[in-house]
């Protein structure tokens, strides 16, 4: 399969902090990949590099063959993000928030309303289009955020701990919906998470990062693992996540 995201010998150094060290991985088109690791392992830096918010210090990041930092605007309508908190504009209704994402991304205006209503409906928010964010529950706000990302019809959806702030039942339901929507749309998904169980249930592969920001393991998840296989998988991820000095 074609690699849609490619990290080659990537280093990222911030003043006084080596965030990533010789990071190499690829994500194929249509894959759903979780990036897991302990706090400070470089998950957020990896996320921001894919998003193009800053360049790598060394090495190369390529997304769809392009440099996400140097060709920032090329990625309009190609990448969308679902953040940990929904980050809805408080002065816009649910419908308007979804439309605003499309406006930012340059989707033709004639398509905004139809697409926004369609995605809000798919995510169970029909009838809540005119509600302001403060009138929605945390789960509903995150659904609007998902609708905003999917409505742009991007090639890649990035999730930055998008389900970690929700209660487990809501998070479980949203994860399930997210996976179905990614699969149905043929999108590529990258989910940054610190939750082991989320990483194990969400995607096709788990990339385990270990401080200081290098790939400790790259695990392809079995389609339907039994309990013993799940335990084995959990141990393998845990071992890979644990910093070397604590092993």
Report residue 38: phi and psi, to 5°. Answer: -75, 170
Asked if 75 is part of the footprint of another protein (rule: CB under 8 A), the reply reads: yes
Q: How far apart are CA 163 and CA 142, in angstroms?
A: 8
Asked if 132 is part of the footprint of another protein (rule: CB under 8 A), the reply reads: yes
Which region, judged by CB under 8 A, interacts with another protein, from 5-13, 98-106, 180-188, 228-236? Answer: 98-106
Output the smallest distance, CB 224 to another protein, in A: 34
Asked if 69 is part of the footprint of another protein (rule: CB under 8 A), the reply reads: no
Q: How far apart are CA 202 and CA 227, in angstroms?
A: 17
Question: Binding-site residue total for another protein (CB under 8 A)?
Answer: 31
Examine residue 212 and say whether the peptide bond preceding it is cis (omega within 30 degrees of 0).
yes
Question: Of 18, 62, 87, 236, which lies in the binding site for another protein, with binding defined by CB under 8 A?
Answer: 87
Asked if 61 is part of the footprint of another protein (rule: CB under 8 A), the reply reads: no
Output the smallest distance, CB 104 to another protein, in A: 4
* 193: CB partners within 8 A, 6+ apart: 34, 35, 36, 43, 159, 161, 163, 164, 199, 202
Q: Please identify, using beta-carbon distances, which residue of 106 and 114 lies nearer to another protein.
A: 106
- For 228, the 3-state DSSP assignment is helix
Q: Please identify, using beta-carbon distances, which residue of 35 and 206 lies nearer to another protein.
A: 35
Q: Please identify, using beta-carbon distances, which residue of 105 and 192 lies nearer to another protein.
A: 105
Q: How far apart are CA 50 and CA 53, in angstroms?
A: 8
Report residue 238: phi and psi, to 5°. Answer: -60, -45
Which region, judged by CB under 8 A, interacts with another protein, from 86-94, 119-127, 218-226, 239-247? Answer: 86-94
Q: What's the chain's Rg over C-alpha atoms?
A: 18
Question: Of 53, 184, 229, 238, which lies in the binding site for another protein, with binding defined by CB under 8 A?
Answer: 53
Report residue 58: phi and psi, to 5°. Answer: -135, 165
Asked if 37 is part of the footprint of another protein (rule: CB under 8 A), the reply reads: no
Output the smallest distance, CB 103 to another protein, in A: 6
Q: Please identify, using beta-carbon distances, which residue of 46 and 140 lies nearer to another protein.
A: 140
Asked if 81 is part of the footprint of another protein (rule: CB under 8 A), the reply reads: yes
Angle, in degrees to the nearest 10, between helices 112-122 and 138-151: 130
Asked if 191 is part of the footprint of another protein (rule: CB under 8 A), the reply reads: no
Strands of the chain (E only): list them: 3-14, 17-28, 32-36, 58-63, 79-82, 156-160, 188-193, 205-210, 214-220
Q: Which residues bind another protein (CB under 8 A)?
A: 51, 53, 72-73, 75-76, 79-81, 83, 85, 87, 89-92, 100-101, 103-106, 131-132, 134-138, 140, 152
């Amino acid at each position: 399969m074609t690699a849609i995201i490619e990290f080659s010998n990537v280093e990222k150094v911030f003043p006084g902090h080596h965030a990533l060290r010789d990071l190499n991985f690829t994500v194929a088109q249509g894959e759903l990949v979780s990036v897991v690791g302990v706090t400070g392992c470089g998950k957020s830096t990896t996320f921001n590099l894919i998003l193009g918010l800053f360049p790598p210090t060394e090495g190369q990041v390529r997304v769809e063959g392009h440099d996400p930092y140097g060709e920032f605007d090329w990625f309009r309508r190609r990448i969308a993000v679902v953040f940990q908190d929904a980050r809805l504009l408080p002065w816009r209704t649910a419908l308007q928030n979804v439309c605003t994402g499309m406006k930012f991304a340059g989707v033709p205006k004639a398509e905004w309303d139809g697409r926004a209503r369609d995605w809000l409906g798919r995510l169970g928010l029909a009838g809540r289009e005119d509600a302001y964010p403060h009138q929605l529950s945390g789960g509903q706000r995150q659904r609007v955020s998902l609708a905003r990302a999917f409505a742009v019809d991007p090639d890649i959806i990035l999730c930055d701990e998008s389900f970690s702030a929700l209660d487990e039942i809501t998070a479980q339901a949203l994860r399930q919906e997210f996976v179905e929507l990614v699969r149905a749309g043929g999108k590529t998904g990258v989910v940054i998470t610190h939750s082991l169980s989320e990483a194990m249930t969400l995607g096709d592969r788990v990339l385990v990062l270990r401080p200081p920001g290098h790939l400790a393991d790259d695990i392809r998840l079995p389609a339907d693992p039994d309990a013993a296989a799940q335990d084995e998988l959990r141990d393998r991820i845990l071992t890979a996540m644990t910093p070397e000095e604590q092993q």
